[in-house]
């Protein structure tokens, strides 16, 4: 019984904006250091030390930005949808704040994935853009992120904006499996998945290792960015509370 009550206490503590603001403040220095180290090592390893691809030469090196950005764009959408669902079901305001904060990060990562894919596509396919199944579904993902952002600002009531954007986020999850499986379901110019969990990856180990480091770096960066955006949202939404006023007063004195 005590274990169950402790679990629910932890769950509701996560729903406290003040508690999240305080605990995330302790995480920030570690997240910044981990992000700099992982991305710095991954980029140097991938861009300077990894061997060129037998077919694509050095142009393949954009994979160290394109693949991590694509993975986080998809994973970030699930995070946004799940936090929106938690907010709708349990009416936890903190969850809605996380959902809102995840939207601009996901939109930026999706744009980065599309842009780097276009740059990579020019030497590989001879064109920056084709209406390929994978690319088109990623473009739809960008529009979904932008739609969530737009809905949050379309209502005068903050709560109504949260609910509407959470519903759109949940509806949009149907697009994520389509993105994952598009290269298997349809004839497409886009190459199959480079990183695979259930079978051997289709990339040489010398190229795979820095890619894994970059993916880890992007995941840590995502957590860092999510914390920063959420902390900003908390200060904005909780500006009338005593603890935020006290925080603002103490920061103005220092």
User: pLDDT tens digits, residue range 43-74?
Assistant: 999 999 999 987 888 888 999 999 999 999 99
Query: Which two three-digit tokens encode residue 207?
Result: 């190229």
- pTM score: 0.92
Cβ–Cβ < 8 Å for 103, 79: no
Query: Which two three-digit tokens encode residue 204?
Result: 């040489």
- 53 strand-pairing partners: 57
b/e string for 31-55 if b means 16 or more Cβ within 10 A?
beebbeebbeebbebbeeebeeeee
pLDDT band at 88 (very low <50, low <70, confident <90, very high): very high
Cα–Cα dist 99/77, whole Å: 9
Which residue's structure tokens are 């020019």? 122
Cα–Cα dist 107/144, whole Å: 9
Cβ neighbours of residue 209 under 8 Å, at least 6 residues apart? Answer: 45
**Residue 15 vs residue 244, higher pLDDT:** 244
Q: Give the residue-averaged pLDDT of 16-30.
A: 95
Give the least confident one: 35-44, 75-84, 199-208: 199-208
Identify the pLDDT of residue 11: 61
Which residue's structure tokens are 């005593």? 242
pLDDT band at 100 (very low <50, low <70, confident <90, very high): very high
Cα–Cα dist 229/241, whole Å: 19
Identify the pLDDT of residue 3: 53
Q: Give CA angle at 70 (84, 205), nearest 5°.
A: 135
Q: Give the residue-averaged pLDDT of 228-248.
A: 93
Identify the pLDDT of residue 214: 98
Cβ–Cβ < 8 Å for 103, 222: no
H or E, element range at 147:
helix 133-154
b/e string for 212-233 if b means 16 or more Cβ within 10 A?
ebbbbbbbbbbbbbbbbbbbeb
CB atoms within 10 A of CB 14: 15
pLDDT band at 133 (very low <50, low <70, confident <90, very high): confident
Whether the per-residue pLDDT at 86 is higher than 60: the answer is yes
Local structure of 110: helix, strand or coil: helix
Q: Give the residue-averaged pLDDT of 155-175.
A: 95
Cα–Cα dist 221/102, whole Å: 12
């Amino acid at each position: 019984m005590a274990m169950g009550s402790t679990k629910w206490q932890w769950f509701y503590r996560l729903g406290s904006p003040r508690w999240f603001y305080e605990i995330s403040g302790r995480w920030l220095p570690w997240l910044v250091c981990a992000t700099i180290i992982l991305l710095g090592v991954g980029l140097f390893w991938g861009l300077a030390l990894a061997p060129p691809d037998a077919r694509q030469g050095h142009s393949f090196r954009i994979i160290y930005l394109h693949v991590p950005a694509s993975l986080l764009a998809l994973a970030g959408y699930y995070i946004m949808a799940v936090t929106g669902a938690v907010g709708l079901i349990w009416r936890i305001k903190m969850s809605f704040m996380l959902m809102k904060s995840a939207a601009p990060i996901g939109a930026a990562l999706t744009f980065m994935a599309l842009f780097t894919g276009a740059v990579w596509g020019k030497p590989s396919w001879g064109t920056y853009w084709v209406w390929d199944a994978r690319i088109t579904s990623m473009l739809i993902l960008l529009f979904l992120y932008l739609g969530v952002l737009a809905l949050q600002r379309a209502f005068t009531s903050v709560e109504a904006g949260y609910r509407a954007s959470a519903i759109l986020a949940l509806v949009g999850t149907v697009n994520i499996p389509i993105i994952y499986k598009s290269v298997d379901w349809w004839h497409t110019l886009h190459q199959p998945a480079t990183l695979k969990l259930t079978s051997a990856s289709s990339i040489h180990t010398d190229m795979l290792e820095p890619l894994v480091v970059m993916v880890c770096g992007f995941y840590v960066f995502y957590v860092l960015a999510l914390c920063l955006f959420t902390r900003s949202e908390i200060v904005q939404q909780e500006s009338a509370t005593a603890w935020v006023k006290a925080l603002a007063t103490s920061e103005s004195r220092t």
